[in-house]
């Protein structure tokens, strides 16, 4: 004859009156809280995100490639074409070399970093020495231009590391290279006008060649475009300085 054992299990969290009395007297531990399942949170429905121009703009290059066979895009001609356009822009931008700062180099780096730079890259070299205020002024201008025109390569080198016994009276000196050849040189800060500003330096650099390039996808370096931009910024700066002078004059009355 089989031996059956029944185990009675009350509802979880239930307690007898006797147990409650014993807990009040401290003879039993406190009753554990009743189990509550976590609140239900529906999973995010990615299909609910509207598929529009902004949705395409938010995608990386790899994600755009994965969307090639997306049936929703096949049904929407605009998104289908816009995806291809964005992908082409990203691939074109990746081809453009970007620098974005003034790179310090040594004498042993010069040939590799300057003379052997790719033929489509313009290289601006400043010969300088620490402790010369005029070198510091020109370096500050070049740092701003390097940020503004990241496809142009800016490098700095201590003058005597580049050219032994180079005279300090010629500092700072700017050399412009392209395709392994020197295209221009500017000796001394006076080469960039009475007041050396980033706009003034940009204007001088682009007088004869398209030295500065902002690296925008699908655009060619344009000397005229850079010069037009420089002229516009100079005008805006003159207007702002004039307005600041008027404000200072009115406040002192």
Q: Is there a domain that residue 43 lies in?
A: no
Q: Is there a domain that residue 26 lies in?
A: no
Do 153 and 230 lie in one domain? The reply is yes
Predicted confidence at residue 54, as pLDDT, reads 79
Per-residue confidence at 229, pLDDT binned at 50, 70, 90?
A: low
The residues near 127 (Cβ < 8 Å, ≥ 6 apart) are: 157, 158, 159, 162, 163, 166, 170, 171, 172, 173, 174, 175
Predicted confidence at residue 68, as pLDDT, reads 73
Closest C-alpha among 134, 175, 131, 169 to residue 156 = 175
Per-residue confidence at 134, pLDDT binned at 50, 70, 90?
A: very high
Predicted confidence at residue 171, as pLDDT, reads 97
Do 189 and 206 lie in one domain? The reply is yes
Per-residue confidence at 190, pLDDT binned at 50, 70, 90?
A: very high
Predicted confidence at residue 172, as pLDDT, reads 97
Q: List C-alpha distances in Å: 137 to 17, 126, 158, 200.
A: 88, 12, 15, 12
> Between these two residues, 230 and 119, which has the higher pLDDT value?
119
Name the range with the highest mean pLDDT among 202-206, 226-230, 236-240.
Answer: 202-206
26: pLDDT strictly greater than 90: no
Q: What is the pLDDT of residues 151-172, one digit of tens each?
A: 999 999 999 999 999 999 999 9
Do 183 and 59 lie in one domain? The reply is no
Q: Is there a domain that residue 69 lies in?
A: yes
Which tokens belong to 120?
């489509």
The residues near 86 (Cβ < 8 Å, ≥ 6 apart) are: 56, 57, 59, 64
Q: Is there a domain that residue 90 lies in?
A: yes
Per-residue confidence at 34, pLDDT binned at 50, 70, 90?
A: low
Helices (H), 96-168: 110, 133-148, 159-162
Do 73 and 182 lie in one domain? The reply is no
Do 142 and 187 lie in one domain? The reply is yes
184: pLDDT strictly greater than 50: yes
First to last CA, the chain: 115
Do 189 and 231 lie in one domain? The reply is yes
Q: List C-alpha distances in Å: 34 to 40, 42, 51, 157.
A: 18, 24, 45, 74
The residues near 167 (Cβ < 8 Å, ≥ 6 apart) are: none
Do 181 and 164 lie in one domain? The reply is yes
Do 158 and 68 lie in one domain? The reply is no
DSSP string, 36-105: -PPPP-PPP-GGGS--SHHHHHT--HHHHHHGGG-HHHHH-HHHHHHHHHHHHHHHHHHHS----SEEE-
* Domains in the chain, number: 2
Q: Is there a domain that residue 241 lies in?
A: no
234: pLDDT strictly greater than 70: no
- Owning domain of residue 189: 102-235
Q: Is there a domain that residue 67 lies in?
A: yes
Which tokens belong to 14?
């239930």
> Between these two residues, 102 and 216, which has the higher pLDDT value?
102
Chain length of the chain = 253
Domain of residue 147, CATH code? 3.40.30.10
Mean pLDDT in the chain?
78
Q: What is the pLDDT of residues 57-107, one digit of tens each?
A: 777 777 777 777 676 666 667 777 887 888 777 776 665 667 899 999 999
Q: Is there a domain that residue 148 lies in?
A: yes
């Amino acid at each position: 004859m089989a031996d059956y054992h029944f185990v009675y299990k009350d509802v979880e969290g239930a307690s007898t009156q006797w147990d409650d009395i014993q807990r009040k007297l401290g003879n039993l531990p406190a009753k554990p809280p009743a189990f509550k399942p976590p609140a239900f949170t529906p999973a995010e429905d990615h299909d609910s995100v509207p598929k529009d121009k902004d949705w395409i703009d938010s995608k990386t290059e790899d994600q755009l490639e994965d969307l090639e066979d997306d049936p929703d895009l096949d049904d929407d001609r605009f998104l289908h074409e816009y995806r291809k356009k964005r992908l082409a822009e990203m691939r074109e931008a990746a081809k453009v070399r970007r620098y974005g700062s003034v790179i310090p180099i040594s004498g042993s780096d010069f040939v590799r970093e300057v003379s052997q730079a790719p033929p489509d890259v313009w290289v601006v070299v400043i010969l300088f020495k620490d402790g010369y205020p005029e070198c510091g002024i020109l370096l500050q201008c070049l740092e701003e231009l390097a940020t503004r025109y990241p496809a142009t390569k800016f490098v700095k080198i201590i003058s005597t590391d580049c050219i032994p016994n180079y005279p300090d009276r010629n500092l700072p000196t700017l050399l412009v290279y392209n395709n392994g050849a020197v295209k221009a040189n500017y000796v001394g800060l006076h080469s960039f006008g009475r007041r050396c500003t980033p706009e003034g330096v940009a204007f001088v650099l682009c007088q004869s060649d398209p030295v500065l390039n902002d690296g925008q996808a699908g655009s060619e370096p344009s000397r005229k475009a850079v010069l037009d931009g420089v002229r516009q910024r100079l005008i805006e700066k003159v207007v702002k300085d004039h307005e600041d002078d008027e404000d200072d004059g009115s406040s002192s009355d």
